[in-house]
Amino acid sequence: MHRYLRSVAAALAVLSCGVNVCGAQTYPSRPVRVLLPAAAGGALDALSRIVAPKISESWGQPLIVENRPGAGGNIAFDLVAKAAPDGHTHLFVSQSFAVNLHLKPAVPYDPVRDFASVMLLGTTDGVLLVPPSSPVKTVKEFIAMARSQPGRIAYSSTGNGTSGHMNMSLFINLTGIDIVHVPYKDVGLAQNDLMAGRVQAYIAPMPAFLQFIRSGRMRALGVTSGRRNPALPDVPTIAEAGVPGYESVTWYGWYTQAKTPKDRIQRMNRELARALQDPEVQKRYAALSVDIVASTPEHHAKYLREEVAKWGKVVAAMKVRSE
């Protein structure tokens, strides 16, 4: 179900041709970049490339998606934080953006101070996966296997502070198991090693992994949210499968440099909202099991502050380390 937090039509009707709004009509004046702290092939890559052509068509200027993985996302974060505040450089991220400063206190940016929130595009579930060769068929069986081999079971993620890392940290905290984190720089390598059985588990964002689950190349044991996912109706939630109190979602947020003029932030928000109203975009997001939110900049700024505070408490309580 799509949950639009504002009406684009109503917003356009209210806007008058003041100085800021009229100035926005000349924006963008050249190609716009959106940087992703992830390699090609993952959820961020897929979701950004679905909306990019719609925005490029509307603007008459290309919206260029650039993959800038590495350093737990900090390469992309730092580039956008230091970019010219003219609305031509953006950032598309998941909740690792709200986690990394707690894992590495010396990071050269602050997610609230150095960035302007543009939109919370949507949310999706994570899913606990094991290789098809794994002997375990349920969450309880996975927990039993891990308890019988402390420190010998490995799980993958695409880096420290990413949703895969944090969702499994929460799982470890609630179950008391002892398993080893293996962070990958590339989602493709993480996928391949899981399918081959070189790692034994992964709590992965659903969009990039549905095809592997449906084809039988990965086995889904449980979803991370508080209700079963319509894309995998036969897969229980992790909570109902044996870990009471477990619940988490992955979110996808759009940002730009903090000092970017508000009229340009509002225009980018309107363009994203238009793209997300397109039936083709909605169909493709639904196929990836992403629930569209399409928030205002103000709502997303508040959401980010809450996420930074929440994950700070989680990292401290779990003593999560940046390996």
- Give the pLDDT confidence of 69-80 residue by residue, as tens digits: 887 788 899 999
- In this prediction the pTM is 0.79
Ranges in the chain, pLDDT < 70 = 1-25, 321-323
Q: Domain for residue 117, yes or no?
A: yes
Q: Domain for residue 2, yes or no?
A: no
Q: Return the pLDDT at 316.
A: 86
130 and 119 part of one domain: no
115 and 54 part of one domain: yes
Helix then strand then coil, % of the chain, to nearest 5: 40, 20, 40
> Is the link from the previous residue into 28 a cis peptide, with omega within 30 of 0?
yes
21 and 116 part of one domain: yes
Do 73 and 138 form a contact (C-beta atoms < 8 A)? no
CATH code of residue 258:
3.40.190.150
**Per the structure block, which two tokens stand in for 211?**
């095809």
**How remote is the C-alpha of 215 from its chain's centroid?**
23
75 and 130 part of one domain: no
State the total domains in the chain: 2
**Nearest CA among 180, 216, 215 for reference residue 200:** 180
Q: Return the pLDDT at 321.
A: 65
**Nearest CA among 231, 235, 237, 241 for reference residue 249:** 237
**Beta pairing class for 154-157 and 202-205:** unpaired
What is the extent of the structural domain holding 32? 8-123+250-318
CA distance 162 to 249: 12
CA distance 278 to 4: 13
**How remote is the C-alpha of 322 from its chain's centroid?**
19
**Cα→Cα distances 116→61, 185, 207, 265, Å:** 22, 27, 26, 8
Q: Domain for residue 231, yes or no?
A: no
254 and 114 part of one domain: yes
Q: Return the pLDDT at 87.
A: 96
211 and 263 part of one domain: no
Q: Return the pLDDT at 23.
A: 45
19 and 111 part of one domain: yes
DSSP designation for 237: B
Give every CB contact of residue 265 below 8 A, 6+ residues apart in sequence: 87, 116, 118, 256, 297
**Nearest CA among 179, 184, 245 for reference residue 42:** 184
Secondary structure of residue 56 in the 3-state scheme: helix
C-alpha torsion angle, residues 102, 96, 1, 209 (rounded to 10): -140
